[in-house]
A and B are shown apart, each in its own frame.
Chain A
Amino acid sequence: MKNKAKIGIIGAGRLGTAVARQSLKAGYEVAITNAHGPESLRLTLSVLLPGAVAMDVPDLIAASDIVILAIPLNQYSTLAPDSLAGKIVIDAMNYWPPTEGDIPEFMIEGVTTSEYLQQYFKGSRLVKTLNHVAYNELEEHSLPPNTPGRRAIALAGDDEDAKKEVEVFINDLGFDPVDLGSLSQGKKFQPDTPLFNARYTADDLR
């Protein structure tokens, strides 16, 4: 059996720590980082995330098979364009104009935020997912595979192999992964869509 992917989470807010906790529960190795350096996370890790490791951003990216972006979207450019080249990247971020203000690059008609980020993060293997579930529900709605009524999480991306690995991860977190197609299909589960923050099973999503 293949070893589990190493998970690296950029962002130690509500979503980042919730994903970290679920990943640890599922037996993954987890690294996490924030904007203030590993030492700032010492207490958070010891109380909330025993077993996870704090790293600075370059070390975390180098050490991880799947990098999860869980920072406010308006902070994306704090990461360099070439920093994620070759990596499987989960874009768990959303553009919320009322809480982030106008960001021109995310207001381009017909281009989803994830498509923009795929262009920005050159050579990354970006998968949009985890963005449409409330952070607390990652823990509260997690269920073992084949449980009737198990909640589904949608994903979209242009790299089929990357999606396969992310599907394994989503399943281990306790949700049915549902591939909705190419990255452009991320438009189906962004804010302002019926899927956003709604509870659906895999059959509902397909």
Chain B
Amino acid sequence: MEIGVFSFGDVQRDKKGNLGPTRESVTNMLEAIQLAEKVGLDVFGVGEHHTEYFPASSPATIISAAAALTKKIKLTSAVTVLSTDDPVRVYQQFATADIVSNGRVEIIAGRGSSTESFPLFGYDLKNYDKLYAEKLDLLMQINRSETGRITWDGEFRARLDDVEIVPRPKDPMTIWLATGGNPASTIRAAAMGMPIAYAIIGGRISRFAPLIDLYRQAAKEYNIEGADTRITIATPGYIAEDAKDAKDTFWKAWSWTMSTLGKVRGFAAPTRDHYDAESNHDGALFAGSPEEIAARIIELHKRIGHTRHIFQMDTGQLSHKKFLKAIELLGTKVAPIVREALKNEKQS
């Protein structure tokens, strides 16, 4: 069971309460990644977003820098909005970073639940799923190619006729399919032999259990040679020594983000009751003390058998200092409890 963190590059508030400079989020994230490695976390994810409060628009660049600053920790996008990018360029950038890292770089490829990259890069949201299907197919073909020479034809990108795509890492990268719970996406991952990453931002986690059954059943039926059936769960989460402090602190951060998202997408701001219900037991929000969060990860693992759990902690201008402390607690307190509890399990 791998445990880690993912971030969209949360911008800080300045002393006047205004949003601070976006550049600060880049250096803060590099500091966070190095700490995550130091405290023994398994993975750090950088999620592509294009806003003044989540400015991590270029995950491959941050990951490449982090690759040079670290030695052990796995580095992944979380996610790459593949629908609005060129799979050739995505491959080249992540492959380069993977070589810098000596084989620690991964990609989580998403359709894009935040869709600000569509107008930014000139793509039509009407083609939302077609764009993703086609680009994922090309990215996987490039990654799995033994020669690095690609012949490919599709609707949304210039054809490739025996073209070299370089550089080539020693081994293909792990590329995950990201989904927010659409059953067809779960089947697509299994049909392509890809590991799957479920992003669960609210509600009860247990509603994903049937989808995971669907993933395993589909993987069995498609029976793809060399299929990778690992499962990542990505949720909001935050840890402080004191459970109440953790829940209160994260409420402020999380509710800011949900209210802001709500204004863009037209839904009502969440209430504290809603938050309290979802930050316990079967809820999707993992804010609490180290012991509490460890227990919830273990319980979830026993139920669904996920192989990796990553947490988005820095959201809604959570102070960088608190973010670093939460990373430290996740690595030094939560992860050891989880590892101890699951040590007799067969590693998948």
Given contacts A72-B128, A96-B265, A194-B268, contact A48 B203 (CB under 8 A): no
Q: Are B267 and A43 in contact (CB under 8 A)?
A: no
Q: Are A197 and B204 in contact (CB under 8 A)?
A: no
Is B266 in the interface zone, CB < 8 Å from A? Answer: yes
Chain A contacts of B183 at CB under 8 A?
A: 12-14, 17, 44, 48
Q: Which of A131-139, A156-164, A169-177 contacts B (4 or more CB under 8 A)?
A: A131-139
Q: Are B268 and A98 in contact (CB under 8 A)?
A: no
Report A136-195 residues with CB < 8 Å from chain B CB. Answer: 136-137, 139-140, 190-195
Please measure, in the bound complex, the distance between the C-alpha atom of A13 and the C-alpha atom of B265, giving whole angstroms.
Answer: 19
Report A106-139 residues with CB < 8 Å from chain B CB. Answer: 134, 136-137, 139
Q: Are B203 and A98 in contact (CB under 8 A)?
A: no
Q: Are B203 and A140 in contact (CB under 8 A)?
A: yes
Chain A contacts of B271 at CB under 8 A?
A: 199
Chain B contacts of A14 at CB under 8 A?
A: 180-183
Please measure, in the bound complex, the distance between the C-alpha atom of A43 and the C-alpha atom of B217, giving whole angstroms.
Answer: 8
Contact pattern, B 279-314, Cβ under 8 Å of A = 1, otherwise 0 = 000000000000000000000000000000000000
Q: Are B265 and A191 in contact (CB under 8 A)?
A: yes
A185 to chain B, nearest CB (A): 17
Report B103-132 residues with CB < 8 Å from chain A CB. Answer: 115-116, 118-119, 124-126, 128
Interface size on A, residues (CB 8 A): 35
Given contacts A12-B184, A43-B218, contact A96 B266 (CB under 8 A): yes
The total of Cβ contacts below 8 Å across the A-B interface reads: 80
Is A104 in the interface zone, CB < 8 Å from B? Answer: no
Q: Are B265 and A136 in contact (CB under 8 A)?
A: no
Chain B contacts of A100 at CB under 8 A?
A: 125-126
Given contacts A47-B213, A192-B266, contact A34 B184 (CB under 8 A): yes
Q: Are A46 and B266 in contact (CB under 8 A)?
A: no
Please measure, in the bound complex, the distance between the C-alpha atom of A134 and the C-alpha atom of B266, giving whole angstroms.
Answer: 12
Is B211 in the interface zone, CB < 8 Å from A? Answer: yes
Please measure, in the bound complex, the distance between the C-alpha atom of A140 and the C-alpha atom of B208, giving whole angstroms.
Answer: 13
- Of listed B116, B125, B211, B264, residue having the most chain A CB within 10 A: B125
Is B221 in the interface zone, CB < 8 Å from A? Answer: yes
Which residue of B116, B217, B268 contacts A197 across the interface (Cβ within 8 Å)? Answer: B268
Chain A contacts of B202 at CB under 8 A?
A: 134, 136
Q: Are A136 and B182 in contact (CB under 8 A)?
A: no
Given contacts A98-B116, A136-B202, A197-B267, contact A44 B187 (CB under 8 A): yes
Contact pattern, A 23-67, Cβ under 8 Å of B = 1, otherwise 0 = 000000000001010001001101110000000000000000000
B286 to chain A, nearest CB (A): 17
Q: 9 A–B contact pairs at CB < 8 A?
A: A43-B217, A46-B217, A74-B126, A94-B266, A98-B115, A99-B265, A140-B204, A140-B207, A191-B266
Chain A residues in contact with chain B, CB under 8 A?
A: 12-14, 17, 34, 36, 40, 43-44, 46-48, 72, 74, 94, 96, 98-101, 134, 136-137, 139-140, 190-199
